[in-house]
Structure 1
């Protein structure tokens, strides 16, 4: 695999997250790993994940590609750093740039402390995650592959586990619920972004509407025809997400 490949390059997670953030040898570098990661995030936000290559990130921060490899040996490692960097925004209530400093207290700001109502707190978590993924549209796709949680990700996971403490579930079940919630949000945001792209093409949207109307009228899909004829609900992205989220969280079985 080339250094611009998608894998994590076999980097030891302990070395990545607990080792020094700066190269150990040579003269003091002009940039920090944090600054390089922030440049990669900005590039992905502006041009998409496919634009993030080691060469292009190096040009963004005006370093040689070989120098960049001392911070991140391949693109897979850089993606790990990027995911954890933006996850810092979850700890500050959604403020971009929240990944700039390590989490000071191991969790989100005081305004997001567990309330004891774990279902309501899970919904807050999901809305924070959705907002994060909409700010960084490349994130849902990256989360579909296994990532080693860094310090910001672990801090938010710690918060989620604390939120679920009133359920009385064991640790494995709480981890599963958090994974299920995150997967739901990522999948929903991915669909939401695709729908938004379709909405920018009125011709395509009109064609899809005509197609569904024809299918509903053909007599072979009575259940679909009934569903399409039902009273409309708010189709704003926020309202749709909230309905889906309520069904998920309200239906969780903690027995």
Structure 2
């Protein structure tokens, strides 16, 4: 097991990560900053995907030796926490809360989708993300303020925000996969032929009826909005 892959890591200590000063405390002034190292990791993930992010590759981007970066990010798990919080700073923490919690929650969902599309590695990263940093907490504060009119207790508000975030992450992951598939017309044609054959086999009448019905607009934004509206409008705030 290596520090590089984080195998066997006991988990990130949020106090150590977020409440203490980053970087070495003794000796000469450090050449690098945690912010610069994290930004390099984000840029690498944006261009090459999350799987390409390693301490060694990030070190190469900032012109450092891998060992010198372990003071800032001892393993990939810590680096991932830093990356998620770093990009969370792009989300507007402020903004007007209208008092219409459903409208406010939908606005938050649209912000999250645009954010994840800018950073296609985020949906996968969020499945493992466990320790909200200061920038993430700032956006969470906005969501909790939007949910104040619901009268839900604290735990329920957190659950609603988690449910919304999970929905957006799952939808964006699917959206990105479909975009990639659209670059292969042969694959899409094969999928259409397969579904047509299944619908015609007589064993799936419900599916056949659905596939025979008029389709809906497939524009990504419109599709997301329909799904988001169903989710938020169906939430029970009692």
Please indicate, yes or no, whether the TM-score normalized by the shorter chain is above 0.5: yes
Aligning the two structures, in what range does the TM-score lie when normalised by the shorter sequence?
over 0.9
Asked whether the 8 Å contact 1:39–1:57 carries over to 2, the reply is: yes
Gap regions ≥5 residues in structure 2: none
Structure 2 length-normalised TM: 0.96
Aligned to 1:69: 70
Aligned to 2:59: 58
Q: How far apart, CA to CA, are the structure 1 residues paired with 2:16 and 2:96?
A: 31
Compute the displacement of 1:231 (Å).
1.5
Could you report, residue by residue, the CA deviation over 1:164-223 in whole angstroms, capped at 9, with x for unpaired residues? 000011001000000000000111111111111111110000000011111112222111
Q: Secondary structure at the match of 2:190?
A: helix
Q: How far apart, CA to CA, are the structure 2 residues paired with 1:15 and 1:158?
A: 22
Gap regions ≥5 residues in structure 1: 92-107
Segment of structure 1 superposing worse, 208-217 or 174-183:
208-217
Aligned to 1:100: none
Aligned to 2:46: 45
Q: What value does the CA root-mean-square deviation take over the aligned residues?
A: 1.2
Aligned to 1:101: none
Asked whether the 8 Å contact 2:97–2:145 carries over to 1, the reply is: yes
Asked whether the 8 Å contact 1:216–1:222 carries over to 2, the reply is: yes
Please give the residue correspondences for 1:213-252 in structure 2 after superposition, counting only pairs within 5 Å: 213-252=196-235
Q: Secondary structure at the match of 2:89?
A: helix
Q: How far apart, CA to CA, are the structure 2 residues paired with 1:13 and 1:206?
A: 49
Asked if 1:212 corresponds to 2:195, the answer is yes
Q: How far apart, CA to CA, are the structure 2 residues paired with 1:156 and 1:170?
A: 19
Aligned to 1:102: none
Q: 1:253 to 1:240 in 2, by over 3 A?
A: same
Segment of structure 1 superposing worse, 162-171 or 17-26:
17-26
Aligned to 2:145: 162
Asked whether the 8 Å contact 1:4–1:76 carries over to 2, the reply is: no
Asked if 1:196 corresponds to 2:141, the answer is no
Compute the displacement of 1:9 (Å).
5.2
Q: How far apart, CA to CA, are the structure 2 residues paired with 1:20 and 1:9?
A: 21
Aligned to 2:90: 89
Q: Secondary structure at the match of 1:2?
A: coil
Aligned to 1:80: 81
Asked whether the 8 Å contact 1:3–1:74 carries over to 2, the reply is: yes
Asked if 1:131 corresponds to 2:114, the answer is yes
Q: How far apart, CA to CA, are the structure 1 residues paired with 2:188 and 2:88?
A: 34
Aligned to 2:5: 5
Compute the displacement of 1:63 (Å).
1.1
Asked whether the 8 Å contact 1:48–1:138 carries over to 2, the reply is: yes
Q: Which one of 161, 185, 190 corresponds to residue 178 of structure 1?
A: 161
Asked whether the 8 Å contact 1:9–1:77 carries over to 2, the reply is: no
Q: How far apart, CA to CA, are the structure 1 residues paired with 2:12 and 2:2?
A: 14
What is the aligned residue count? 237
Compute the displacement of 1:10 (Å).
3.8
Compute the displacement of 1:6 (Å).
4.4
Structure 1 length-normalised TM: 0.90
